[in-house]
Amino acid sequence: MFGHAPEIPVFPGAMTAPLRLAPLAPMGVALTLVARRLIARHPGLIARLGEHGDKRFAIDPTDLPLTLLMHPHPTHTRITLYRRPPEADARIAGPLAGLLGLVHGAYDGDALFFSRDLVIEGDTSAALALRNAIDDAELDLGAEIAALAGPFGAVLAPLIAAMQRVSGVALTRVEGGMA
Amino acid sequence: MMELVCPAGTPAALRAAVEAGAHAIYCGFADETNARNFPGLNFSREELADGIAFAHRHGAKVLVAINTFPAAGRQAVWHRAVADAEAAGADAVILADLGLVAHVAEAHPGLRRHLSVQAAAANPDVINFYAENFGVRRVVLPRVLTVAEITAINREIDVETEVFVFGGLCVMAEGRCSLSSYATGLSPNMNGVCSPPSHVVYAEEGETLAARLGGFTIQKAAKGAPAPYPTLCKGCFSSGGVTGHVFEDPASLDASELIPALAKAGVTALKIEGRQRSRAYVREVVRSFRAAVEAVDAGRPLPVGQLARLSEGQAATTGAYAKTWR
Ligand code: SF4
């Protein structure tokens, strides 16, 4: 949890299987919607990126055969999915469970980086700014997705919580730290 | 009880530190006035005011670090930072520059003044000078002193002392190191950044990860070895057929076992480094150290298991506190 690397759980194959097969374009559209909604509710995210607010970030979950390219914007953030890592200003790569744990405050970015669970390439400043902005925003992707699902949210939220319990992967915001 | 002074690089980390039991939080503005001027970190004026209100509601103090050295002709930026910190309700400002200390004593006499580690005040004469002339109430001691030296200093001064107990270690007398300037043109003293990320490039060279700063390779890590941040003083260099660390092997500070000795030495406050770390890290470290200072205050032994966990798996050192120099 501190200077040393936490044990990052493996994202269960059953949970990633749909992601492997799903068509990329509609998934990109859905993620773009989630991202725009998140940024509208956390304007501090863009403010904190400062001069890096217009950079393109490749987020590469190394255990999935896809990479997210995120181009942040106060109102028109875009996420596009690629099968191969695309050109970007900064690339942040790591196991999906580690990336989600970072977003949800379960892990410390420095610790994951030093242990090489997390790889940063390209513009180091931009990658650090993104990491710090996300840490400050106290995001909860599980809650956002459940909220987006409208009436299905009531079913989805406990399902996400159960998946988190079984897998050990931080799918929602963790307050006391996980490891 | 000894006061626990904890880092916050973001408002979320400030709240985490308060909730985990910090007595005081130190933080700075998102500009060159503070010595941790890293991308995505630090506070706007509004965030600082909100953070201070939050801390005060929970009985914690906020100390604002304005601890770089003002550039000649541009002092107004630093003066404004002090005025804004006072307006936001700061409990103290942490200063390094003699001119700025004098300005604050004159223009903001009611604002508590702490001397930053960046001022490198390491003997009773200089500490007393700051106290007598500028009303400095606390000095953060440089990380070059032994516990015996701290005890001796405390006997001869009338201001509070604060010492680092955990986190990254700057091996020089802070405020005096210009290594970073040589490689990047930017230094912690003038720009608030040592070995700034804007000049950092990581390159995969086959199995090896090379960490470069301003075009110089500072460190190479073999496959599986921990990734290095290319901080100049912690680099591994080859010269005259020898490859090794120039100053010391890089290790992070953990003086938790010395808390009872530091209390006996008359130290008022214990400082945790890490404004660049996540809220998760801050919460865990603060929680553990709060338990430790409570134990020491109650005359109980340190909660060993808990503190041992902090440095598990990483090289830890008690720094200069218990050091015999080579
Ligand atoms: S190079 Fe090392 S000793 Fe010098 S300021 Fe940076 S961290 Fe401190």
Task: Give the Cα separation of A47 and A132 in Å (integer).
Answer: 11
Q: Is B260 on the interface with A (CB under 8 A)?
A: no
State mean pLDDT over B82-93.
98
Q: What is the pLDDT of residue A53?
A: 93
Q: B10 φ, ψ to 5°?
A: -140, 160
Ordered by where they begin, the domains of chain B are 3-169+251-325 (3.20.20.70), 179-244 (no CATH)
User: pLDDT tens across B94-135, in order?
Assistant: 999 999 999 999 999 999 999 999 999 999 999 999 999 999
Ligand 1 centroid–CA B64 distance in Å is 22
Which tokens hold the place of A156?
């989805």
- DSSP state string for chain A: --SSPP-PPPPPHHHHHHHHHS-HHHHHHHHHHHHHHHHHH-THHHHHHGGGTT--EEEEETTSS-EEEEE--TTT-EEEEESSPPP-SEEEEE-HHHHHHHHTTSS-HHHHHHTTSSEEEE-HHHHHHHHHHHHHHT--HHHHHHHHTGGGHHHHHHHHHHHHHHH----S--SS---
User: Chain centroid to CA B199: how far?
Assistant: 22
Q: What is the pLDDT of residue B174?
A: 75
8 A C-beta contact, residue A63 and residue A77: no
Ligand 1 pocket: which residues have CB below 6 Å?
Answer: B 170-172, 177, 179-180, 188, 194, 231-233
User: pLDDT tens across B197-212, in order?
Assistant: 899 988 888 888 889 9
The answer on pLDDT for B247 being more than 90 is no
Ordered by where they begin, the domains of chain A are 19-164 (3.30.1050.10)
Ligand 1 centroid–CA B171 distance in Å is 6
Give the ipTM: 0.89
Nearest to B284 among A114, A137, A177 (CB): A177
Q: Quickly state the pLDDT bin for A6 (edges 50, 70, 90).
A: low
Pick the most confident of A145-159, B13-27, B310-324: B13-27
User: pLDDT tens across A70-96, in order?
Assistant: 999 999 999 999 998 899 999 999 999
Write out chain A residues lying below 8 Å of B311, CB-based.
2-3
Q: What is the pLDDT of residue A160?
A: 84
Task: Give the Cα separation of B318 and A48 in Å (integer).
Answer: 35
State mean pLDDT over B150-173.
91
Which tokens hold the place of B185?
């043109």
pTM of the predicted model as reported, rounded to 2 decimal places: 0.92
Task: Give the Cα separation of A26 and A46 in Å (integer).
Answer: 25
Q: Is B283 on the interface with A (CB under 8 A)?
A: yes
Task: Give the Cα separation of B13 and B47 in Å (integer).
Answer: 12
Q: What is the pLDDT of residue B312?
A: 43
Strand B92-95 versus strand B61-66 pairing type: parallel
Task: Give the Cα separation of B117 and B127 in Å (integer).
Answer: 12
Q: How many CA atoms lie within 13 A of A94 on its CB side?
A: 24
Q: What is the pLDDT of residue B178?
A: 86
Q: What is the pLDDT of residue A178?
A: 40
Which tokens hold the place of B315?
């090289």
8 A C-beta contact, residue B31 and residue B190: no
**Cβ–Cβ gap A130/B40 under 8 Å:** yes
Atom of ligand 1 nearest to the CA of B194: 6
Q: What is the pLDDT of residue A179?
A: 40
